[in-house]
Structure 1
């Protein structure tokens, strides 16, 4: 389905076989809503599951102007308004986790629970140049230039070797991501910083990290959990896409977390 949100033609998928509480999934940089296919299939019998392509990703339009994570949070608000979502559980991974943090600060009353995966609350000063380099690379050579290194960073060698079909699907989505959309998002993530405000978040929060995540070290996700009152932190035997690599374990964690609060 397509809908116009803040002037951006936005793709979303709604699965509401169960007609239960809303559950919203937000994907990573260089991904799209398909990363959540398996999880959406599992939860759709008990929840109204919403997935969407973030601005500049998948089949959602590319913005002509630079945007911030705060703008992406407003996109999410616009999507909720258009679909009549009054309150939802939110699960965000990597970039999706940053959007989720920002939305929790912007519209906390619209969130039931917050699940943050393999994400951080700010780019450290020494990491800012990396985002600029990635943006420059994809503008010059396209996202394919970063694909192999990204797959190696996102998923452990063991998983890549045993699940080549999953890796191929994730890689294909990454390589088909708009270069300009990816570059704009790199700049948005470079400038994201909500560390000083996380103590304002009073929502039930589950933070999940991959033990082998080199790009976003587990300590960064744990720092978010430490800053949010009564947040729970879980470490999985995975790299950056922990909910995908350890899908069964993550599904069990999320199901238990949600059931306690439905």
Structure 2
């Protein structure tokens, strides 16, 4: 079931409910440029026992785009507030959270903010800081999308997100992801890129006090395993796991190995 929840700044956030309505809630947040459906293969085996809350970030999927300007860019803090407000609107008192890529960045912000509902964190294929020298890359992607649209990013994105062997064995899976990327609103993608440029959670990770699992893909060039290990080392009591083989999109490439890790961590 899809539902729309309006945030305090008037942006409608889309949420898909599935699974056992009486089960322990698990909030899932996707990567940049896609939507909540990338979690489908992970959520499927957990639906019998868990209540799945899969959120489309602002400007992704069927959520509204949040206006974002260079003077007032969208931030990860704002995206974390969206998640908090969704959880509150649903009347959820305690929930686990799993996020991949930008979803993992939002998860770090939530961990530091420490909302009362947050029971555990799973951070998948993510990083904790974005150095200034990397801003050029993000500015180039923003310029490409403005000039050529989302289609211009598809081939390079798929090459980064999946191992060559998976791409050979499962071309239809890549086609599905490509279709989602192409339909992501340009302004929504750009606003999320601006949020990522502001990522600076490394100095604050020691303040995360909930049980945390950090998962990397061994072949992930975007968010390499050493970045995941560093996040886990900085969070008190955190555990690190590395999936081999897997690149940046384990919810699709390694769903059969990812979901037991998340489910066991949330137990």
Query: Aligned runs of 1:1-262 on 2, under 5 Å?
Result: 1-6=3-8, 7-17=10-20, 19-65=22-68, 66-237=73-244, 238-259=246-267
* Whole-angstrom distance in 2 between the partners of 1:248 and 1:18: 23
Unaligned stretches of 5+ residues in structure 2: none
Partner SS for 1:109: coil
Deviation at 1:232, TM superposition (A): 0.6
Task: Report the Cα offset of residue 103 of structure 1.
Answer: 1.1
Contact 1:18 1:44 in 2 (8 A): no
RMSD between aligned residues: 1.2
* Structure 1 length-normalised TM: 0.96
Kindly provide the CA deviation profile for residues 141-199 of structure 1, in whole angstroms up to 9, marking residues without a partner as x: 11110110000000011111111111111111011111111011111101111111100
Contact 1:23–1:48 (CA<8 Å) still a contact in 2?
yes
Q: Distance in 1 between matches of 2:36 and 2:251?
A: 14
Structure 1: stretches of 5+ with no match in the other structure: none
The list of structure 1 runs, each at least 4 consecutive aligned residues, that deviate by more than 6 angstroms after superposition, is none
Q: State the alpha-carbon separation in 1 of the partners of residues 260 and 85 from structure 2.
A: 31
Residues paired across the two proteins, number: 259
What is the alpha-carbon distance in structure 2 between the residues aligned to residue 254 and residue 64 of structure 1? 33
For the residues of structure 2 that align with 1:59 and 1:81, how far apart are their CA atoms?
20
**Normalization by structure 2: what TM-score?**
0.94
Q: Distance in 2 between matches of 1:209 and 1:166?
A: 20
